[in-house]
A and B are shown apart, each in its own frame.
Chain A
Amino acid sequence: MTDLFQQAVLVSMFAATIRIAAPLLLVSIGELVVQRAGIWFLGVEGSMLMAAFVAYFSAVSSDSLYVGLLAGMATGVVVHLSMAIAAVTLKINQFVTGLGINLLASGLTLFLYRENLRAYDSGHIPTVTPFETVPITGLSQLPILGEILFDQHLFTYFAFAMVGVVWAFLYRTRFGLEIRALGENPKALDTKGLSVSRRQYSALAFGGLMAGLAGSVLVLALTDRFVPGMTGGRGWLAIVIIIAGNWKPLPVLAAVLVFAFLEAFQIQAQGVGVQIPYQLLLALPYIGAIIVMMGVKVRSEQPAHLGVPYHRE
């Protein structure tokens, strides 16, 4: 292999890392805010999957990517808010509810997918024309870095920007202080007359927007169609990422990049025909998740009140 070829492989692998990171980053940043607000939401996988499903069929039937995008984001918000009703208002066990949302999403999307396909010619699965990348003038011409960082989808730039936005929100605004306090001791807000549930609803709505966007990006930018179960554990990885990132935005970004790299590596390795069973490559992120969890011991920022419904007395 020539050096030039090796360089091309590496560049495309890193570019793929950044591209693949986008949906994972979006969903993780959303879940970060949700967990900081004290809600332990395990249904992100389902929320993303539903959003991807709705985004796909809306885009196909309206022939507009933007309609699909909006519908996908709205779906994420609706699913997350149903968690808010269950967990915040009705105070149902958060673990079971999150799990139920995942199972409902996978069952419903599979069934509806099969039924919806009947509307199209047999054997012909409709596709969308995915969003194009948007090179940033000037920066994208940079050697190597330009191709890796600055010839990406708009969503990718947005996802990375959101890390900074959420960081600033959590640590530099009064609302962020309140959200952080919520996960630690909601009574500290309640006794000052500040509504706990309104803030938790808001946090979940934001999480839903991010998960909805992430699901939409999967079908509208990274591929061109919906496949049942296509989120493939990304929602669960988001939960691993938040633990590994110790509930802090920048370490969460780092963890996202690690998992995105594993996936990019897997695609690249399959592409160049490495002599490893492809199933092992596919399983890499999941094996990686367990190994990461074995290594990460710091849980200092885990919200003390995470997953505990708030009751007055």
Chain B
Amino acid sequence: MSNSPPLLKVTGLTKTFGPVVANSDVSFEVERGEILCLLGENGAGKSTLSSCLYGFYRPDGGRIFYDGKEVSFASPRDAIALGIGMVHQHFVLVPPMTVLENIVLGSRDSGLALDLGEARKEVHELCERYDIDLELDTKVWQLSVGQQQWVEIVKVLFLGAELLILDEPTAVLTPQESAKLFRILRRMTDNNLSIIMISHKLDEVLQSDHVAVLRKGNIVDTVRTSDVTKEDLTSMMVGRPVMLQAEREEIDPGETILEVTGLRIRNDKDQQAVKGMSFKVHAHEILGIAGVSGNGQNELFEALMGVRDTDSGQIWLYGDEVTHHGPEQMIKHGVGYIPDDRFKAGLVGEFSLAENAILGLQSNPSFADGPVLNTRRILDFAQDAIQKFGIVTPGPHARTDTLSGGNAQKIILAREFWSATCCILANQPTRGLDVGVIEYVHQMLLEKRREGFAIVLASEELEDIFALSDRIAVVFKGEIMGVFRTDEIDIEQVGLLMAGQRLDAKETKQDAHVTI
């Protein structure tokens, strides 16, 4: 124990939402100049805890000490005044404004007039000190998500933070960008700043000094990082040993089911989002699409499902061209879609579970007699789905927006697996789910692969991609940087490709390493 008090000390913190206890009796400390990692699954209460630490939520019980003095926060302003800064997982930036405007937003240092000169100098110094590259006059919407992360961090530093809370900071970064992030974080701790990092990614957790493991709102244990292994942490986090790798049996791929040739697509801002993609997916095959989100994946999936126009190129299904077929036809062709944002693109929140289970299939003779819905058969189908997929719900009439993310995702799986006959398009199918459901989704996808489906799987989690895919296509800025058999390539090489670097032809798996 050092003589000076810890920078932050939390004792017995409790936070409830109605009947839901998000955090109960949480206690931990952060010393000056260290990185503490809060490790936990989705729903373990990590984000609620951090929101309490910087004044966005008010805890219901417990005490917080900062620099030895007890404090309480009425609003984030109080936390900021003390020197606590938060970097949110879902960035809170204003896209049409410049980087500099986003950074100075809300500060009053130079009075009423908006004089950015002084601020510009200060931000420059910060960037130099920590070796961060930022174009201050670029509009935020033009930045990649990785660059937006730097803006968020500088925003917090600009407010004078001594303690930075980072919520899942590497979720949107390539492996090399994460490595860079940790170098910068170390530079900060060398400058006596402290960092609380929230994560569920074990590789990154291992780079911290201490780990506090959260499970169901409680801190299960706080350990020194150097004393534990990945496997220890996983079982502490989940409460049981977890099979980290799904078993993917060797099956020879069959005939070509889906083929894309020279596809070009524009995004909502009328820019080229997909610049000439070509690939094939066979029966019994999962094609993984690796890439940081925002590199054309969404536009690609939208075009494949027929909801976005293509500029040029073709889409083929079993050798028949289906390029300008709308979503109704694509569903009829037997293509299923698992969207990245399930509540936005996959479900109707005001609908009941049963209605969502047949969304898009309402005119199918199985669920309608001519123009009239067959309520009986719809309910039966929903009841079946609840049982088969283990959906936790009061019943088929429950409103969908009351369900958890995992249960909502299972409705989509039930529906798409029922209607799809040849091809599944899965866009970030495990995003935001906890380990149990992730395992389940993986198993279901592998089962469909066994049955002979062609599956396209996009994921930011490279571990998922490697665990499930037969081949991996890496995308960057709307282009495919290469398609590889999974055993031909490793995570570092994929990371480089995701950042837009072409692999040296001579480079082999053995000598590839992180070089940024």
Contact present for A180 and B106 (CB under 8 Å):
no
**Identity of the chain A residue whose Cβ is nearest the Cβ of B107 in the assembled complex:** A174
Q: For chain A residues 163-189, which have a beta carbon within 8 Å of chain B?
A: 171-178, 180-181, 184-185, 187-189
Contact present for A188 and B102 (CB under 8 Å):
yes
Contact present for A188 and B94 (CB under 8 Å):
yes
Q: Indicate if B92 sits at the interface (CB-CB under 8 A).
A: yes
- A193 and B80 in contact, given A174-B108, A181-B94, A185-B92 (Cβ under 8 angstroms): yes
Contact present for B94 and A191 (CB under 8 Å):
no
Q: Indicate if A190 sits at the interface (CB-CB under 8 A).
A: yes
Contact present for B105 and A191 (CB under 8 Å):
no
Distance of A98 Cα from B433 Cα, bound (Å): 40
- A193 and B114 in contact, given A177-B101, A181-B97 (Cβ under 8 angstroms): no
Q: Indicate if B345 sits at the interface (CB-CB under 8 A).
A: no
Q: Indicate if A311 sits at the interface (CB-CB under 8 A).
A: no
Contact present for A177 and B105 (CB under 8 Å):
yes
Distance of A172 Cα from B106 Cα, bound (Å): 14
Contact partners of A173 in chain B: CB under 8 A: 112-114
By size class, the interface of chain B is: 20 to 34
Stretch in B70-78, B192-200, B255-263, B417-425 with 4+ CB within 8 Å of A: B70-78
Contact present for B55 and A193 (CB under 8 Å):
yes
Q: Indicate if B28 sits at the interface (CB-CB under 8 A).
A: no
Contact present for A191 and B113 (CB under 8 Å):
no
Contact present for A184 and B92 (CB under 8 Å):
no
Contact present for A191 and B92 (CB under 8 Å):
yes
Contact present for B112 and A174 (CB under 8 Å):
yes
Q: For chain A residues 298-313, which have a beta carbon within 8 Å of chain B?
A: 300-301, 304, 312
A-B pairs under 8 A by CB, number? 71
Q: Indicate if B413 sits at the interface (CB-CB under 8 A).
A: no
Min distance, Cβ A178 to any Cβ of chain B, angstroms = 7
Can you list, as one digit per residue, whether each of B86-106 has a CB less than 8 Å from chain A (1) or not (0)? Answer: 101000111111000110111
Contact present for B105 and A193 (CB under 8 Å):
no
Contact present for A174 and B88 (CB under 8 Å):
no
Distance of A190 Cα from B106 Cα, bound (Å): 10
Contact present for B96 and A194 (CB under 8 Å):
no
Q: Is the interface of B mostly helix, strand, loop or mixed?
A: loop
Pick from B78, B96, B102, B111 the residue with the most CB of A within 10 Å: B96
Distance of A187 Cα from B93 Cα, bound (Å): 8
Distance of A170 Cα from B76 Cα, bound (Å): 25
Checking B77, B101, B112, B114 against A194 with a beta-carbon cut-off of 8 angstroms, the contacting residue is B77
Q: Indicate if A124 sits at the interface (CB-CB under 8 A).
A: no
Contact partners of A185 in chain B: CB under 8 A: 92-95
Contact present for A176 and B86 (CB under 8 Å):
no
Contact present for B114 and A192 (CB under 8 Å):
no
Distance of A176 Cα from B106 Cα, bound (Å): 11
Contact partners of A184 in chain B: CB under 8 A: 94-97
Distance of A188 Cα from B76 Cα, bound (Å): 11
Can you list, as one digit per residue, whether each of A274-290 has a CB less than 8 Å from chain B (1) or not (0)? Answer: 00000000000000000
Distance of A193 Cα from B112 Cα, bound (Å): 18
Distance of A285 Cα from B211 Cα, bound (Å): 67
Q: Indicate if B316 sits at the interface (CB-CB under 8 A).
A: no
Q: Indicate if B56 sits at the interface (CB-CB under 8 A).
A: yes
Distance of A187 Cα from B94 Cα, bound (Å): 9
Contact partners of B92 in chain A: CB under 8 A: 185, 187-188, 191
Contact present for A312 and B114 (CB under 8 Å):
no
Contact present for B105 and A189 (CB under 8 Å):
yes
Contact partners of B88 in chain A: CB under 8 A: 191
Contact present for B86 and A191 (CB under 8 Å):
yes
Distance of A184 Cα from B56 Cα, bound (Å): 20
Contact partners of B111 in chain A: CB under 8 A: 174
Checking A171, A175, A312 against B112 with a beta-carbon cut-off of 8 angstroms, the contacting residue is A175
Distance of A171 Cα from B107 Cα, bound (Å): 16
Pick from A171, A184, A185 the residue with the most CB of B within 10 Å: A185
Contact present for A189 and B106 (CB under 8 Å):
yes
Distance of A216 Cα from B111 Cα, bound (Å): 35
Contact present for A193 and B78 (CB under 8 Å):
yes
Contact present for A192 and B95 (CB under 8 Å):
no
Distance of A176 Cα from B101 Cα, bound (Å): 11
Contact present for A181 and B95 (CB under 8 Å):
no
Distance of A192 Cα from B106 Cα, bound (Å): 7
**Identity of the chain A residue whose Cβ is nearest the Cβ of B54 in the assembled complex:** A191
New contact pairs (13) apart from A190-B56, A304-B96, CB-CB < 8 Å:
A172-B114, A174-B107, A176-B114, A177-B97, A181-B94, A184-B95, A184-B97, A185-B95, A187-B92, A188-B105, A193-B55, A193-B106, A304-B95
A interface residues with partner B (beta carbon < 8 Å): 171-178, 180-181, 184-185, 187-194, 300-301, 304, 312
5 examples of A-B residue contacts, CB within 8 angstroms: A172-B114, A177-B114, A188-B94, A193-B75, A193-B80
